């Protein structure tokens, strides 16, 4: 890991390079980004092979429904909900925009974090961020539905499926802020992007909440795990 004096402003690397910018040979490239490469190969194989089965409107049925996260199941079927926290990041909605967005996120943020911190830590942070944000947002939806059962916003989030890898790489963005010599810069860039994404593309309110919750988890947990809080203070 780079020392504090050598930390860059933006902790991102070209996908074919080492941390210091040197191009890597194919084998070293593969070994330096095992999870990122494996994840991208698998999600594209699923999307290309089962695109017609990835959309769904209720629990069960198509492959996409089985792999999706359903907020009500944190109450009605907790075990299946916990399993879906691991399955949902591998599935994406049938339209190409979703999987292209996640692919770009992995090409920029995930692989950059993995080449710095290693595949095991990167994988744990990815799925840990998915779990933290997924549980928080699902509980919020369920309690919100109990308090305001007629809320259109809550019902739109409550009775749909959630899947994809964007929540996971937002957690990685939060963690990678500690790899910058200006910690707040990475966070501000991500928040500005999310505001633009919300306003220009009309993504769900709960999608943005999940992204921000994941980023906050990544920032806080990685700072605690690595002791970055003490170094920065």
The count of structural domains within the chain is 1
Give me 77's structure tokens.
Answer: 């079927």
* Domain contains 208: yes
List, for residues 82-105, the tens digit of each pLDDT value.
999 999 999 987 678 889 999 999
- Domain-embedded: residue 2: no
Alpha-carbon dihedral 45, 110, 93, 100, rounded to 10 degrees: -80
Query: Is 50 a member of any domain?
Result: yes
Q: How many alpha carbons fall within 13 Å on the CB side of residue 150?
A: 0
Return the structure tokens found at 95: 């339209």
Let me know if residue 232 belongs to a domain: no
Least confident residue range of 3-17, 153-167, 195-209, 210-224: 3-17
Domain residue limits at 130: 10-226
Specify if 220 maps to a domain. Answer: yes
- Would 231 be classed as within a structural domain? no
Q: What is the pTM of this model?
A: 0.91
Q: Is residue 3 in a domain?
A: no
CB 159 within 8 A of CB 204: no
167 neighbors 89 (Cβ within 8 angstroms): yes
Q: What is the Cα–Cα distance from 144 to 165, expressed in whole angstroms?
A: 25
pLDDT, tens digit, 9 for 90 and up, residues 171-180 = 999 999 999 9
For residue 233, being part of any structural domain is answered with no
Look up the CATH number of the domain holding residue 129.
1.20.1540
């Amino acid at each position: 890991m780079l020392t504090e004096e050598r930390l860059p402003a933006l902790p991102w690397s070209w996908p074919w390079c080492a941390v210091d910018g040197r191009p890597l040979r194919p084998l070293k490239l593969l070994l330096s980004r095992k999870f990122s490469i494996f994840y991208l190969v698998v999600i594209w194989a699923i999307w290309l092979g089962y695109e017609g089965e990835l959309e769904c409107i209720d629990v069960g049925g198509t492959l996409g429904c089985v792999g999706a996260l359903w907020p009500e199941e944190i109450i009605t079927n907790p075990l299946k909900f916990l399993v879906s926290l691991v399955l949902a990041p591998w599935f994406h909605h049938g339209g190409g925009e979703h999987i292209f967005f996640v692919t770009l996120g992995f090409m920029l943020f995930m692989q950059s974090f993995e080449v710095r911190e290693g595949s095991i830590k990167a994988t744990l942070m990815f799925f840990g961020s998915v779990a933290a944000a997924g549980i928080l947002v699902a509980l919020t939806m369920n309690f919100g539905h109990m308090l305001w059962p007629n809320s259109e916003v809550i019902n739109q989030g409550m009775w749909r499926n959630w899947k994809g890898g964007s929540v996971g790489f937002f957690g990685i963005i939060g963690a990678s802020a500690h790899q910058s010599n200006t910690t707040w810069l990475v966070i501000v860039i991500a928040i500005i992007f999310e505001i633009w994404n919300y306003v220009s593309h009309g993504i769900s309110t709960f999608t943005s909440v999940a992204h921000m919750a994941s980023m906050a988890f990544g920032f806080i947990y990685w700072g605690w795990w690595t002791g970055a809080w003490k170094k920065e203070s």
